[in-house]
Every structure is written in C-alpha cells, then in structure tokens.
Amino acid sequence: MKAAEVKLLLTSSPFLKQEDDMPTIMRQVIYSLVPVSLAAIYYFGLGALLLILVCVGGALGTEWVFSRGKRGRRLSIADGSAILTGLLLALVLPPAIPLWMALLGAVAAIGIGKMVFGGVGSNIFNPALVGRAFLQAAFPVALTTWVPQGGWQSLARLYPTQFGMPFAKTTVSAVTTATPLSQMKFAGQTTDTLQLLLGNTGGSLGETCALIILLGGIYLAWRNYLNWRVPVAVFASVAVFAGILHWVDPLKYAPPMFHLFSGGLMLGAIYMATDPVTSPVTQRGCWIFGIGIGVLVMVIRTYGGLPEGVMYAILLMNAVSPLINRVTQARIYGESRKKDKG
Amino acid sequence: MANDLFKMPETAVSTDEFIKGLWRENPVFVQVLGMCPVLAVTNSGINAIAMGLATTFVLVMSNILVSSLRKVIPKQVRIATYILIIATFVTVVEYLIQAISLDLHKALGAFISLIVVNCVILGRAEAFASKNTLANSFLDGLGMGLGFTFALLCLGVVREILGSGTIFGIGLFPDGFQSWVVMILPGGGFFTMGAWLLFFNWLKERNKKREAALSESGTGVK
C-alpha cells in the first residue's frame, strides 16, 4: 500500500506579518491629532483653521511638484505623510503668523526637509521641524509674536497680520501676549499647572493643550504606533533635571510640572521625537535618544538665550541618531561580549 | 580636469581655454571648488563682484607667472613655489582693495587673505599653467576667474534680494520689505548654492537629452 503523499508547503521568513502599513499608521496619527487641532481652533479661532489648511495644502503641493515624473506619484501623495508634516508644522507655528510665511515653511519642510533626501523614509531630520527652523531663522520676529488665547465668544476671529502681502513687512500691529516659558525666562513668573494642562495660555497652536496631546499619545502608544520609550525618556529626564534645579534653588528655577506641561514639550516628545524615520531603531537607542532630547531641552531652556528649545533639541538628536544606532547594535547570539581586537 | 592632466602641451592659442571656464568647466557650479568664499562673502551683489574680481586678478597673474616659470621651478618644491607666487598677488590685491574702498575691505574681512588657499587658483596653477604656454594659461585664468565671478554673482544677487530687499544697494521694494534674515547668514549661502546647483544640473540634463534627441533624429533621416 502506498503511503499518502505528504505535501509540504515551503515558504521563507517572515512568517508573522503585521497588517498595518505606512498609510494606515499615518492616518491613525493624523486622527489622533484632530482633537489637538480642534483645541487649537477653540483657543485661536478661525485663523488657526486657516493656518492649518494653508500648511497642509502647501505640504501636499510641494510633495506633488517634487514627485513629478516619478512612479508612485499618486502613492506618495496618498500615504498621508505630507498631510501629517503640514499639520505638525501648523501646530508648531504661532497663530497670527502671516499665511505666506506659513506656506513658505511648508515648502521648506517638504522640499529641504524631505524630498531632497529622497522622499519619505530617507530624511535625516523631522521635516516639520526643518520647516519651523527655516522660518525661525528667516523671520525671527514673526515666529515669536504670540496672540492671546480666546474661547467660544471669539471663535470666528481672524488675524489681520495673517493676510499680509507676500514679501512685504507687516504693517498692522496685533495684540500680543507672552508664552508661559517666555514669562518664566524674562519675568520669572510661573503659570498654574491646571491652566497649562487645559492649554489656557498663549503659544503655538499645539503648544497649548497638554492634556489632549497626552491622551492622543497614550492612544497611539496603546495601538503600538509609536515607541513609548522615547516620550517616557524625554519626560523622565526633563522631570529629573528640573527637579534637581528646583530643589537646589526653588525661587530661581521652575518646578518640574511647569517644565513638563509648558511649551512644545508634549507635542515634540509625543509626535515629533517618535518619528520612526529620524529616531533610532534599537530600543536601547530610543532611551538614549529620549534622554538626550530631555537634557538638551532643559539646558536650552535654563541656560540658553531662547525661552524654548524643544525644536533644536529634537533636530540635534535627529542628527546623532545614526550614531546611536551604530553604538547600540544588538550583540549577535554567541558572540563574545568583549570586542576582539583581531 | 582629467583631460588637462594627460594632454600634451598645446602650443597654439585656443579660445576654447577661455570659454571652458565660463560654463563647461565652471569652477563653482561644475568643479565645486573654492566653496569657502562662495558661501561666506556672497551676502550682497557688491561683495560678490569684488571677491570675484580679486580672485580673477590673482588667478590671471599667478597663471601667467607660473606658466612662464614652469621650466625653472623644480618639481619637488612646486607647490610651495605656487603658494608663494599666489600669496604675492593676494597681498597686492589686498592693499589695492584697502586703497579703493575701506568699507569693502571691512566687509570682505579675512576672506581676501584667504584667496591664497582658494583651491581654484592652486588647482589651475598645478593642472594647467604648469603644463601650458603663457598665452593659453592667461586665457585659462581669465576664463576661470570670470566663471568664478559669474557664480558668485548668481549667489550674491539672490541672497541680497531675499535677505535685504535690495540689489547692488538699490532698494527694490519701496514700501517695506520683510527680509529673510537666514539668507544673509551662512545657512542661506548653502540653500542658495543648492538651489543654483539644482538649476544648472537640470539645465545640463535637459541639453544633453536634446542633443541626444537631435543626433537620433539626424541618423534617422540618413
């Protein structure tokens, strides 16, 4: 009697496949930013919505122009990475910035920050932060002019400074205010933690409501769309650094809670430092990366000339993340712990 | 460059030696040499022209002297000799600029003295003037110098318009211009340089494609 022929199915690894692809993850991140954007619109009115639309439109348009003549052009628009970059850029800009500057920032973000390196996945620096750094270097005054936050009564407001002619100096003056960090830096005043959590302060669109950003981050970490080690390392190192300073001289240095919830730290740590392209790939590397960002933020905030340093801290750590990758390579199983010198 | 090194010295005077520096072998946009002054002093059109002309003067004079002394200079000490020759002319040009305009001298600062180490000049002395006749070396130096000036001017004009809203000191926008501070800073030099390189490479690619298409259609007719 002949034995039944056994059919073997031979396949190669990987055997476990993840269902999520890049567009899905990008979409999820964008969804988690919707509440943050709504909070920004609540505090800064229709002008904030306009700013978000201009930034997203500018990012998409630049992506479209740069991917001209390439295969997969439609894909490169549809994967949502340009929308996310535009949205993040809008969230780190002051609400009353002239719209033509915001558009220029979006072009710089996608053009200089992403496409010249070869598009999505090849950039060294976080594109949205490159756009903001470009604007900060080009127009330092407009980037540090903040308008006071409002509420339901002033939801329909636009800012006259937004509609300045391209290339022309802004002639209309706006009612300005200070951010909690600049108040701390230049006047030595701290802001109530509850107000910081709710976002009832002046600042960039996404610099305000720490609570909603934190919830968005927890959602993404729960769905495993971001590496929780990076923000946790950032928060921990900022808290420890600020705690020591506050303990040494409580009158001169702000408490850790103030540093955690003010400025762009929440948005930066959760949405920008965790960018999978520009952060290290190893888990140990993520810890080092996060701690580096936290320490740099505190160094710039405390000893630097600027009130806020999240942008430069993340960009600097982006630059060293290839090095971190190299240093934290996993040991191959069976290899000796000591490096052989042969 | 590689062609120059292995070419037998030509005795006939050729205008091609002049023209190649302007475009085909432009020291900045094609050879990407002498980046230090290109990025550092091109924050206004006037600075760019002054720097370009100073470099052209040094380039032409050193090419002439190196070429006429090429059979006398021992091979072992040639680089030191070239540097000595170049430094002499840089000193001349530095005093000249100081005499003509003290403001300009202040604006260009250390970069006038640094023409000594501009690799375009040493490169031409080593790769061309030491192997070619005096007339050709003169033309080569002039062409390379003017090509260098042209490139500096390209950067300087863009950076001046965006950085201060003027062109050669004349205001372009009467009712207030929002200047892009970054364009006057060194970072703007890199951005502008990158943009120009992109543009010239695109132009070259397009011309190449056109020539290819032309020669193809030409053979088709035959």
Rounded distance, CA B82 to CA A249, Å? Answer: 62
State yes or no: pLDDT of B221 exceeds 70.
no
Q: Are residues A29 and A95 in the same domain?
A: yes
Report CA torsion sign: B108, B113, B119, B121: positive
Amino acid at A325: N
pTM for the full predicted model: 0.82
What is the sign, positive or negative, of the torsion defined by CA atoms of B85, B88, B92, B98? Answer: positive
Residue A247 lies in a domain: yes
DSSP string for residues in B16-67? HHHHHHHTTT-TTTTS---HHHHHHSTTSHHHHHHHHHHHHHHHHHHHHHHH
Q: Measured between CA atoms, how close is A166 to chain B, in angstroms?
A: 8
Domain boundaries, chain B: 20-156
List phi, psi (to 5°) of B52. Answer: -60, -45
- Residues A190, A311 within the same domain: yes
Count contacts between A and B (CB, < 8 Å): 31
Judging contacts by C-beta atoms under 8 Å, the chain A residues touching residue B165 are 167
Question: Do A232 and A169 fall into the same domain?
Answer: no
Are residues A76 and A55 located together in one domain of the fold? yes
Contact A138 B176 (CB under 8 A): no
- Tell me which residues of chain A, numbers 199 to 218, contact chain B at a CB-CB cutoff of 8 Å: none
Query: Which residue is closest to B183 within chain A, CA to CA?
Result: A138
Helix, coil or strand: residue B1 = coil
Separation of alpha carbons A271 and A91, rounded Å: 11
| Residue A323 at interface with chain B, using a CB cutoff of 8 Å | no
Comparison of pLDDT for B168 and B57, the residue scoring more: B57
Please name the member of A138, A142, A170 whose beta carbon is closest to the beta carbon of B182: A138
Judgement on whether residues A218 and A285 belong to the same structural domain of the protein: yes
Q: How many folded domains does chain A comprise? A: 2
On whether both A143 and A207 belong to a single domain, the answer is no
Greater model confidence, B56 or A12: B56
Residues A172 and A299 in one domain: no
**Chain A contacts of B187, Cβ < 8 Å?**
137
Same domain, A92 and A197: no
Question: Which of A177, A211, A233 is the endpoint of a domain?
Answer: A177
Note the pLDDT of residue B2.
47
Residue of B nearest to A134 (CA): B182
| A17 within some domain | no
Are A140 and B191 an interchain contact pair (Cβ–Cβ within 8 Å)? no
**Residues facing residue A177 across a β-bridge:** A146
Burial label for A260, CB within 10 Å (0-12, 13-18, 19+), is buried
pLDDT at A341: 47
Those residues with Cβ within 8 angstroms of residue A256's Cβ, 6 or more apart along the chain or in another chain: A238, A239, A240, A242, A243, A246
Please, what is the average pLDDT of chain B? 85
Q: Which of A66-75, A138-147, B115-124, B205-214 has the lowest mean pLDDT?
A: A66-75
Q: pLDDT (tens digit, 9 = 90+) per residue, A255-298?
A: 888 888 887 888 899 998 988 888 888 889 999 999 999 999 99
| Same-domain pairing of A26 and A106 | yes
Say yes or no for a CB contact (<8 Å) between A112 and B191.
yes
pLDDT at B8: 52
Residue A9 lies in a domain: no
Task: Note the pLDDT of residue B10.
Answer: 57
- The answer to whether residue A37 is domain-embedded is yes
A108 domain residue, yes or no: yes
Q: What is the pLDDT at residue A188?
A: 67
Residues A46 and A168 in one domain: yes
Least confident of A117-121, A336-340, B128-132, B218-222: B218-222
Looking at beta carbons, which residues of chain A come within 8 Å of B175? 168
Chain A's closest residue to B180, CA to CA, is A138
The confidence score (pLDDT) of residue A73 equals 63
Residue at A12 is within a domain:
no
Per the structure, the complete domain to which residue A242 belongs is given by 182-327
CA A267 vs CA A25, A217, A270, A309, B189: distances in Å:
18, 9, 5, 13, 31
Which pLDDT band, with edges at 50, 70 and 90, does B93 fall under?
very high
* Shortest CA distance from A136: residue in chain B: B182
Answer yes or no: is A101 within a domain: yes
Please give, rounded to a whole number of angstroms, the shortest distance from the CA of A340 to a CA of chain B.
Answer: 42
Q: Is the ipTM of this complex over 0.90?
A: no
Mutation for A interface: B43, B177, B181, B182, most A CBs within 10 A:
B182
Report d(CA B125, CA B194) in Å as an integer: 28
Cis peptide before A280 (omega within 30 of 0): no
Residues in chain A predicted with pLDDT less than 50, given as ranges, are: 341-342
CA atoms of A115 and A111, how far apart (whole Å): 5
Which pLDDT does position B219 carry in this prediction? 59
Instruction: Express each pLDDT in B145-191 by its tens digit.
Output: 999 999 999 999 999 888 888 888 787 777 777 888 888 888 888 98
